A and B are shown apart, each in its own frame.
Chain A
Amino acid sequence: MKQVPNAMVEQRTTVGFKGVDSLCPYCGVGCALTFRVDASGERILDVQGRDGAANAGRLCVKGRYGYDYAMHPQRLRKPLIRRESSYPKQPLSGDVKGNGGGPRKPGGIVDYDEILPHFREASWDEALDLVANRLAGLRDRHGGDSLAGFGSAKGSNEEAYLFQKLVRAAFRTNNVDHCTRLCHASSVAALLEGIGSGAVTNVVRDIENADTAMLAGCNPTDNHPVAATFIKDAAVNGTKLVVVNTRRPRIADHAEIYLQIHPGTDVALFNGMMHVLIRENLIDREFIDTRTEGFSELRKVVEEYDPDTTAALCGVDPDDLVRAARLLGGGRRAMIFWGMGISQHTHGTDNSRCLISLAMITGNVGKPGTGLHPLRGQNNVQGASDAGLIPMVYPDYQAVDDPGVQAYFEDYWGTSLSPKPGLTVTEIMGAALEGQVRGMYVQGENPFVSDPDTNKVRKALMALEFLVVQDLFLTETAEFADVILPGSSFMEKLGTYTNTDRRVQIGRPAMSLPGEARQDWEIICEIGTRMGYEMRYESVSAVFDEFAGCTENYKTLSHENLGRYGKWYPCLDPATSDGEPIVFGDTFPRGKALLVPARLRQPEEHVDSDYPLILNTGRVLEHWHTGSMTRRSAALDRISPDAFVEINPEDAARLHVVDGAMVEVASRRGSIRLKAKVVPRVAEGTVFVPMHFREACANVLTSPALDPQGKIPTFKYCAVRVRPLEGASHGKEAMGG
């Protein structure tokens, strides 16, 4: 008779674990999870989904399997100082030199053997003193504006708050920014102008109350995967999805209408939809009269966009355009989500203005199943912006050039402050190239890979007199550093993070710090104090309280009342309330919403016979930004190891490009080599390259042209050409699939 194995044969090593309730470190969805970690705190064993407000126990591949980067042997364990012999500064690795030499070894991550010999280990005291002295020296000789700092949307609210405080109070400049500049800066500019608040009006899961949801320029199944599961839930239960994109996202499989528009024609499409809504009287007159201003000017502009001409311009069927418009109006509850496909253009602010107007004229704000939701990318890009990691504003979007605000913060921080708005990410790179910015502190960002026009960024980083980089690994940017400081990973720190829904949640430390690595917040405070501006706090929650104390939205919150599940801001009474999932039911922060009309503008960059294709860039499901985390995760790297360019079968046939073969993609600024993926999801005349792969860095190609309001670069539009590489066109088999 068969025996039931009730006590298992113990061939395995037994490991005791404890569960730590925390969050996923990756995207703005902000999934709650539990890390199971061994007794030593050196090893995360597995991850379990937790019943958070944003995820209801669900996770995606990154949250569930992507935690092991924190345990990677390449973690920095000691402060590093550049050796005398490694001056004058040069990029150190073949990849970063960009002379086509390529890496010494194949593979996606920095080759430490190439870089480390140029640095020596140092004590924290030596490294911090050097940083503080050099930065203070530049400040005293050339003024505060000769310094700049890039903070991180991956860090906590507390770190973001301290970082901008350091730059403003100790560096004495407002040159502080972070990667929001590269993602939603234009959306936020339009929202601040239109309604007076940059945050979402309704949470993602409110889509269950919507009759219609428009998903414009976003790819949620890859970039906000757990949010996508709730969007798909809604579609199954009858919410009609209108999907607008230039490259077919998987969510289009669940859509009522999919509009694949020509790149750069968003404004025309949305104006065309408003034209239909007004013509067919599917608008909400009462809402327009009582809650908005500027309707007559808007109406005049959208008058010019009749559906037939507009549809032809956008490359869609006019009937689809009309049907899509009808789904948004006529009293239906409609929600609008958007992503980088809207914001990362020279006309990104105009795109968002149109979406805001669409919601306003149909009365779709302030009630369940409606609203404006720019899907935030980083886990804490909302919080980092709220905390003032932006050159023009203090915490809570208070303008630096408002004398009253300046006086308030001079008092709050006990020092004098600069009234001059600072430079943005892309402008700082330009200023470094021109010698105006001489010293920089880069914490947890990797501009060498993430910023547009890599060749220009390389020159800018080389031109800096002093660069300190604080990170988990030797990043590409760190090759240009004078000092490298080993920081803390998400899994090692305590702090709050604000997700795309405005939900403030606590991440708790699961692991101990490796080697001599230190908490990021402590490092920031050390630098401030050593530069002569005292920054001492008893605890992370004390930092939170100081931050919350100078804002409206966070002022009722504390680590204690956020607890295990967090709260949405605003939250008037944390004792009884979970916060507000829907805001602006009666009025907007600016009073009436301002409708700002926009006309279609020509893109900065022109397609011609030399550069006939339009390049779009973005992310893949398994990877995060510059890959410094996900390419060090065994599972994620195994699922998605290689760079690729997606090309339409028609273009591929014309250019003799075979699926799986190596090709060269070149723009007016540079060229990269990578594998071709021949797929119909990209439209004819366009190609797509993910941004994560340093060996085929998409930003070698992209253009640094900026949106005039948001100062966001146009990552979604540049002209390129593609050619097969000689002797490499043997297709899938030979490339090993």
Chain B
Amino acid sequence: MIWENVTLAASSLKTNKTRALLTMLGIIIGIASVIAIVSIGNALESSVSTDLAALGTANITIAVQEREKENAIGRLRPPTGVIITGKTPTSSDLITETMISDFKARFADVIQGISISYSGGSATARDMELYANVSILGINKDYATANTITLLSGRIISQQDIDGFANVAVVSDKLVENMFPLGTDTVGKTIKIYKPNSIDIYTIIGVYEYAQDGPFASTASDRDMQTVMYIPVSTAKKDVLEKNFTSFTVVANADEDITQLTDSFQSYFDGVYAGNRDWKASASNLTLILDTVTSTLNTITLAVAVIAAISLIVGGIGVMNIMLVSVTERTREIGIRKALGAKTFHIQLQFLIEAVIVTVIGGIIGIMLGLALGVLASLILGVAASASIPMIFLSFIFSMAIGLFFGLYPASKAAKLDPIEALRYE
């Protein structure tokens, strides 16, 4: 019964293909945009997640921050991390080596390492007419645990390098290209580093692969780009009076709950800084950023979904309109069918099925179009395409529901026609 109605409806749609297709357009556009946006959103979200994971979601950063105070105007609080007084912490407010080793001892069982870095500013490596821009980063031994450094040759900064204030450096392959165009083995070679008021000579102990889309990516040309040069943190701080740190990063063991650890680190440092009225050390992790990104993407997805829903409703009204036209056009047919014994529900079913077929075919075309758009957008954005199966299923059900909903009125109108009047209709 249903199946015969389906074939019947399909054959009556075939007689007016162009019209059927135009009718479907609203549904196609609505469904396609939902599917496309959801898959692009999914792709973006997972790509952001992997990017952030590369930065280290297992990392917890402890940083010295000014305490939030009720300001003079009232109880307004400045946003976290924003120093509105412009005060700088004094040496005694900063994190000392002892504090770090005490902390390390206290949490020895949950942490893999503690990464410390100190920016030594920008400099240029020169050798006759050859040059390469670098930004100097003093690091400790655990820095490589917290951050991804892909070594191409040689080794990373060791504890002996740090203890010995050694003038050793791990440089990028880009620097090697610029400074050693002949491509000989560079490990063991020396480079001259020109700073505004000093010239130092460093021995290259390792070469790492420059990550084009990494956190330190440069937008300059290969010739002028600035790449990071890693040196021992002690060497970087040699000429600096301030020996304490404003921040350090903890690498937790893989199986630890980062959120929970962040909380316990926070309460540990709250204890350490209990006596300090202006400054504190606050613990944070990247999962917080990830959450923000995710919720932003969700908001965008929702907004597009609303727009798509409107387009689906408009599409549904289009279907209703065409079905009403179809009922009028086929008044005589309805009269004949009624004369032959069709009951109200027979006529209703016939037109409902026709409406549902229109919207379902529209839905299927929309789903395919949306998936294609999703793949295209992913290619352009350079992220992996990812389709949402539940979303496809939902779209299918939804397009069916639209057909049912917007087909109902025309179908009952058809079913209510008086057979005599309908038979007389020209």
Are A and B part of the same complex? no
Q: Give the interface of B toward A (CB within 8 A).
A: none
Q: Give the interface of A toward B (CB within 8 A).
A: none
